[in-house]
Structure 1
Amino acid sequence: MSETDPFGAVREVTVDGESHKMADLTVLEEQGLCDLDSMPVSIRVLLEAVLRNVDGERITEADVRNAASWEPEVPDVEVPFNPSRVVLQDLTGVPAVVDLAAMRSAAERAGEDPTIVEPEIPADLVIDHSVHVDYFGSDDAYDKNVEMEYERNAERYKAIKWAQQAFDDFEVVPPGTGIVHQVNLEHLGRVVHSREIDGEQWLLPDTLVGTDSHTPMINGIGSSAGASAVSKQRPLCLASRLR
């Protein structure tokens, strides 16, 4: 037992010959802290995230107990939640890029390495809210509309391209790929992530904070605010298009 695993719930599992860690909720049930069969799937997913992220400071043993004691009536406690990813559309994502850039500038002015500023949670930015239809009814209408999109927003897209290259956990889906809901559902969603965290490989459910009103539609295929079939497909890269 330790501050980061106060319930002895971290397990080693082997998938396709590779070792992974995971947070095992059945340990909490065995200790009488919860009844998993009567607990909604969304609450189980939340409980897993709290259990996996215990560090003794921001997330404590008490937080796990609070999440495990869920009842239908809203309890008078706060439960911390760290999603596995964030999806942004361009209207909300660009201001976030500006904030990250400003924080890197501040770090550099303070004599610190600016690369210490990174998104704490992996984020995908889908550019879909600025496309105009200037051409239609022809075979090359799509290509012409996308080209106009890059011309109109060249300065903004250069900033986004810089962010994609500067930050390790920031990916961009370029204009013309699709609306954020469709892209999230078909390309970004996962059922389970296999992710390296602090030098160790973990398995964790796909949980999502989305900044677009329709993003939670992905709930219907199996996770807390987002998931789809396990996929290795990643977003297209802006770097190949922006000049």
Structure 2
Amino acid sequence: MARSAKGISLCQRKYALDILQDSGFLGCKPIAFPMESTLKLSVNNSSPPLPDPALYRRLVGRLLYLTITRLDLSYSVQALSQFMAKPSTKHFQDAERVLRYIKATTGQDIFLSADSPLHLKAYSDSDWGGCIDTRRSVTGFTMFIGDSLISWKLKKQPTISRSSTESEYRALASTTCEIQWLMYLLANLHIPHPQAILLYTDSKPASEIASNPVQHERTKHIQLDCHLVREKLQE
């Protein structure tokens, strides 16, 4: 942690370098991004099982700890962490690619600006049917106070969504719960937040469901999430 008049910087540079050194990637060739956006990892691939799964588990575990300050690694690491039981050689190669990206971005940090306005805003999204093994979607959200990133999450949804709208709406519900928790935290710290919280989504159908009090046949199965988001929206 480094503090100045401009704000606070949170960085895990030393830990990132330790991971690279222990893995033998300290002198590797860096790359610009950790994982292809179109890459879909699967349990069923032609790659042989990894001879020593403990190597994979240890590496992914250390990468999980690195995501405390590295939002840019969160999607890749959550994808890799789904194969801890039986990792393959291909999965290990994908994890090594993340190391090459870390080599290019060891000094990446989170900066909490001292001049940032005290206004919560959130961004919600989902990857409909992103897991090709289970066809479950992945929820993703980020939370900001002003321009400072304070919270984020990437997690596979517990149930299968039958439409992209349902997937996006379940992500909205998870984001709404996180917003409510942050409001409780601010209240406990006696920090007032009089403004309306901003919640962004790129799904027009999901935002319309949140505003429409009528339950349609296609939204009855997500009724609990609908009531949760609408109630908080009205508040």
Measured against the shorter chain, the TM-score band is: under 0.3
TM-score (norm 1): 0.26
